[in-house]
Amino acid sequence: MNFNLLSYEVFSTHPLTLFGILLLVWLYKKLCKPFPYLPKIPTGLITIALLLYILNHLVRPLENAPLELFIEVAALVALCLGTIRIVVYLVINYFLEQRRKVKVPTITTDLVLGILWFFTVMVILRQRLNFDLTSLVTTSAVLTAVIGFAMQDTLGNFFAGLAIQAEQPYQIGDWVQIEQHTGEVMGISWRSTRVLTTKRESIDIPNSIISKSAVFNYSKPTPEYIATLELGLAYDAPPNKVRTILLDVLSIHPQILQQRRQEVRVRAFSDFSVTYQIRFWINNYALENKIKSDILNHAWYHLRRAGIRIPFPVREIIQTQTAPHVTPISRVEELLDSIDLFDALGDDGRKILAKRVRTELFGSQEEIVQQNDPGNSLYVIVHGSCRIFVTPSGSTEQRPVAELQAGDFFGEMSLLTGAVRTATVIAEEDTECIVVSKDDVKDLLLAKPEIAQELSKVLAQRQAELDSLQTQKKHVATENAAVQLLNKIWDFIKS
C-alpha cells in the first residue's frame, strides 16, 4: 500500500471537511448505542487522527517541515490503526460472532490486531521517514531480552494462551474443571481464562497455571456424559430389588437421557450399609447437582414404600427397630366407613379389611397411577391432595379433569374388575394413601357372594355418574350394566 499517496490525499482535504467527518464519527457512536449489532468504530483513534490532520493545517504557516512531518506520520499511524480495528471488528466481532455465532476468544482478536498494527507501523515508518528497520531489529533484540527477564510471568501467560488457542482443550461455553475450580468458560484472554462457577463466582485462572494442570472438559467430545451418585442402603435389602427401584426412579426423570443405558452397581459392602453407585447420562453439566437432588428426593419415597431402610451408622446404638409410619387402625376404619362402595361389606367386613390394607406415601408431583397401566388396587387419600389427568385418544397432552382431597378415593374398577387405569393421578403434595388390593377383598367376596352383587350395583351407578359428567347428559345405571359388571368381578376375583 502506498502511504505517501494516502497521506497526500488526506492532507489535501480542507480542515472543515475533516472537522465534519469528526462530528459524524461521534454522532454515529451515540446513535449506535441502542443497536449493539451495528459495527463499532474506534472513535479514539479516529478522533486523534483527525485532530492531528487539523493541527497539521494550523502549523503549516510556521513552515516547520520536521514538525509537519512528525504530525503527519502520527496522524497517518492513528488513521491506519483505526481502519484496521474497524476491519477486524467487521470480520471477527460482527460477521463471525454475531452472524455466524462463532465464539472468538479475546486473545485471538488481540493477536491479529497486534500483528497487523506492527507491520503497518513498520511500513509507514519505512515509507514516510526512511526508517532503517535493520537497526531497529538489532536494537530490539537486546531490548526484548531485557523485557523478557523482567516479564517472565506475563510472557508465560501469553504463550500459554497461544498454546491453548492452538490445541483448544476447551472453548468458550464449555464446562471444565481446572484444579479445584469447576465452571463454564466465559472468556480466554492473553493473560488468563475466565470461569463462571455454579455459585455464579467469576474466577480468572492464569494461563500459565492451566498449561501445567489437568483440564477436565465436560462438554467434549460431546456434552453427553455419565454422572454418578452413591447411596448406602440396609444389608437386608436384596440388591436386585434395590436395582429395580432405583432404575425406576431414573426412568421418570425428564432430564436424564433415556435413550442411554442407566446403571445401578453394587459399589462396596461398607461397615453399616451396602453402597450402590447410580450411573446416569445427562447432557448439561450445569444441571447435574439439581438432577442428583431430584434423584435422591424420589428415591427416598420409593425406598420407603418398598420398606427399604437407609441405615444409621454402626456407631449409633439403636435399641428398637424403627418401624415405618402406620396410619392408626381407627383412622383406616373411619375412612373405609365413609366410602359407600364398602357399605356392602358390613361393619365386620370393613374391620377385617382395615387390618389387611397397607399405607403408602407419595412425594409431591409423583405419579400414583398412570393411564392405561394395569391395576388391581384402590387408593384412599389419608392426607394430602391429588390431581387427575386424562390423555384423550390420539393426543399426547394430559388434561386436568378433577382434584381429590383427603377422604376421596380412586381405582375401584381396577380393584374389582382388573380394568386398566382410565386416568393418571399425580400427588399435588406429599400424600399418604390407603391401598386396598384384590387379595385384601378376595376371600370376603368368595365367602359372601351377595357382597359382589351389591358392589356391582354401586359400580354401575358410579359409572353412570361418571358418564354423565363426561358427556354432560344424564345417564342412568341399568340392571344389565350391573350384571355385566358382576360377571367381570367374578372373572377377576376367581382368576
What ranges do the domains of the chain cover? 3-131, 165-217, 225-305, 329-493
Percent composition of the chain: helix, strand, coil (DSSP 3-state, to 5)? 50, 20, 30
What sign does the dihedral 485-487-491-493 (CA atoms) show? positive
* pTM (predicted TM-score): 0.57
CA angle 339, 343, 347 (to 5 degrees): 105
Which numeric CATH code is attached to 165-217?
2.30.30.60
Residue type, 341: L
Q: What is the pLDDT along the chain (495 residues), one digit of tens a residue?
A: 554 544 444 544 555 565 666 666 666 666 566 555 555 666 677 677 777 777 777 777 776 677 777 777 787 777 777 778 777 777 777 677 777 777 666 667 777 777 887 888 887 777 777 766 665 555 555 556 555 555 566 666 667 777 776 677 888 889 999 888 899 999 887 778 899 988 889 999 888 888 888 889 998 888 898 999 999 999 989 999 999 999 999 999 999 999 999 999 999 998 889 999 999 999 999 899 999 999 999 999 999 999 999 988 755 555 555 445 567 888 999 999 998 888 888 888 999 999 999 999 998 889 999 999 999 999 999 999 999 999 888 888 888 988 999 999 999 889 889 999 989 999 999 899 999 999 999 988 888 888 888 888 888 887 777 666 555 555 455 567 777 888 888 888 888
**Same fold across 225-305 and 329-493:** no
Q: What is the 3 state secondary structure string of 301-368?
A: HHHHHCCCCCCCCCCCCCCCCCCCCCCCHHHHHHHHHCCHHHHHHHHHHHHHHHHHCEEEEECCCCEE
Residues paired with 387 in a beta bridge: 403, 426
| Domain 329-493: top CATH class | mainly beta
CA 56 vs CA 8, 16, 44, 48, 81: distances in Å: 12, 13, 18, 12, 19
Q: Is the Cβ–Cβ distance between 246 and 264 less than 8 Å?
A: yes
Reported as a single tens digit per residue, the pLDDT across 239-289 is 999 999 999 999 999 999 999 999 999 999 988 899 999 999 999 998 999
Q: Provide the CATH topology of domain 225-305.
A: Alpha-Beta Plaits (3.30.70)
From the list 372, 421, 427, the residue with the least C-alpha distance to 403 is 427
Cβ-contact 335, 380 below 8 angstroms: yes
The answer to whether 262 and 256 have CB atoms below 8 angstroms apart is yes
Which of 336, 346, 418 lies closest to 379 in space, CA to CA?
A: 336
Q: How many Å apart are CA 257 and CA 37, to the nearest integer?
A: 36
The answer to whether the CB of 237 falls within 8 A of the CB of 269 is: no
All cell numbers assigned to 100: 455466524
Task: Give the model confidence (pLDDT) of 373-415 as tens digits.
Answer: 999 999 999 999 999 999 888 888 888 988 999 999 999 889 8
Please count the residues of the chain. Answer: 495
